């Protein structure tokens, strides 16, 4: 095969700043935290964002932020655990526009080990964190195949590879998400569908603040500092940092990237201990 030499255009392409102009991006759980940061980042890059969230008012609040900054977005109430409901929402989007990007972000956490985790809690975590992702992929994959491909990004967690203490159900669910990512990437690479996942470490979101307030009243600052220092880099991640990596992975600049789990963890997996 003839070796291709680099051209100036290869470097000029960097000036696009990872634009998403004309792309329709569906973000689940986009009403708060990491999902909101991803939605704002994608909209700023030119994407038309469709935010699916169990809490419609949260999704609408994200839409307002996007519109106030000159972007385009719409909010949809959606329970990702309800397959007919997911299909109905996404089919309504497909009827009007081509979907280019799916970000599976909606999820829940749980604290407990194998003994203390009830069957109901285990089922609930896997229903949201695993079946919810499956439901969205299942509903959009044929549409992507028919329309020339697309990018799927799953938000996983370092818990899926490291097995965090007292996070039995959560770690199990995120391990499944990572395996799901590999499977989808392999099955659909010939259809120009890329599938990757991001595995964040601890990220400072409203969930963290709520967890500390509930479990350590009066000691929130102390416990926050303790949790932050479990990352070798010395702090928690921020939602906008996850959004930056999500932006790259869903952009055309990442056209050669699929079937990969990206730890975003302040050195936790490789430098901890």
pTM: 0.93
Q: Which CATH number fits domain 19-201+238-263: 3.40.50.1240, 3.40.50.300, 3.90.79.10, 3.40.50.720?
A: 3.40.50.720
Annotated active-site residue in 170, 188, 224, 262: 170
Which residue, among 225, 247, 245, has the nearest Cα to 236 in the 3D structure?
Answer: 225
CB 105 within 8 Å of CB 27 = yes
pLDDT at 206: 85
Query: For 48-70, what is each residue's pLDDT tens digit?
Result: 999 999 999 999 999 999 999 99
- Tokens 């730890």 sit on residue: 263
DSSP character string of 10-44:
HHHGGGG-S--TT-EEEEETTTSHHHHHHHHHHHH
- Among 8-17, 111-120, 194-203, 234-243, whose mean pLDDT is lowest? 8-17
Q: Report the C-alpha dihedral over residues 82, 153, 165, 127, rounded to 10 degrees.
A: 10
Query: Which pLDDT belongs to residue 17?
Result: 75
Write the DSSP string, 128-154. Answer: IIIIHHHHHHHHHHHHHHHTT-EEEEE
- The arithmetic mean of pLDDT across residues 62-84, rounded, is 98
Flag whether pLDDT at 118 surpasses 80: yes
111, two tokens? 């604290």
Active site residue 133: no
pLDDT at residue 7, rounded to an integer: 59
Gap between the terminal Cα atoms of the chain: 47
Specify the pLDDT at position 50: 98
Is the confidence at residue 184, as pLDDT, over 80?
yes
Q: What is the pLDDT of residue 8?
A: 58
The residues spanned by each domain of the chain are 19-201+238-263, 205-236
């Amino acid at each position: 095969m003839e070796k291709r030499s680099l051209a100036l255009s290869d470097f000029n392409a960097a000036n696009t700043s990872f634009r998403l102009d004309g792309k329709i991006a569906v973000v689940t759980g986009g009403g708060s935290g990491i999902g909101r940061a991803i939605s704002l980042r994608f909209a700023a890059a030119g994407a038309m964002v469709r935010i699916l969230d169990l809490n419609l008012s949260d999704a609408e609040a994200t839409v307002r932020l996007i519109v106030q900054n000159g972007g385009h977005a719409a909010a949809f109430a959606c329970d990702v655990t309800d397959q007919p409901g997911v299909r109905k929402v996404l089919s309504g989007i497909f009827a009007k526009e081509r979907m280019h990007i799916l970000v599976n972000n909606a999820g829940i956490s749980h604290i407990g080990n194998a003994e203390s985790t009830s069957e109901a809690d285990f089922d609930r975590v896997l229903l949201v964190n695993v079946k919810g992702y499956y439901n969205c992929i299942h509903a959009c994959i044929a549409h992507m195949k028919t329309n020339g491909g697309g990018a799927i990004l799953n938000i996983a967690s370092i818990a899926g590879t490291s097995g965090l203490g007292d996070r039995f159900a959560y770690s199990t669910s995120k391990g499944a998400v990572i395996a799901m990512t590999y499977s989808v990437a392999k099955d659909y690479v010939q259809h120009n569908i890329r599938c990757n996942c991001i595995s964040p470490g601890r990220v400072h979101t409203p969930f963290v603040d709520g967890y500390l307030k509930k479990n350590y009243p009066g000691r929130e600052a102390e416990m926050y500092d303790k949790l932050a220092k479990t990352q070798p880099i010395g702090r928690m991640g921020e939602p906008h940092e996850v959004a930056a990596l999500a932006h790259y992975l869903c952009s055309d600049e990442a056209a050669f990237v699929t079937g990969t789990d990206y730890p975003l963890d302040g050195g936790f997996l490789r430098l901890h201990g």
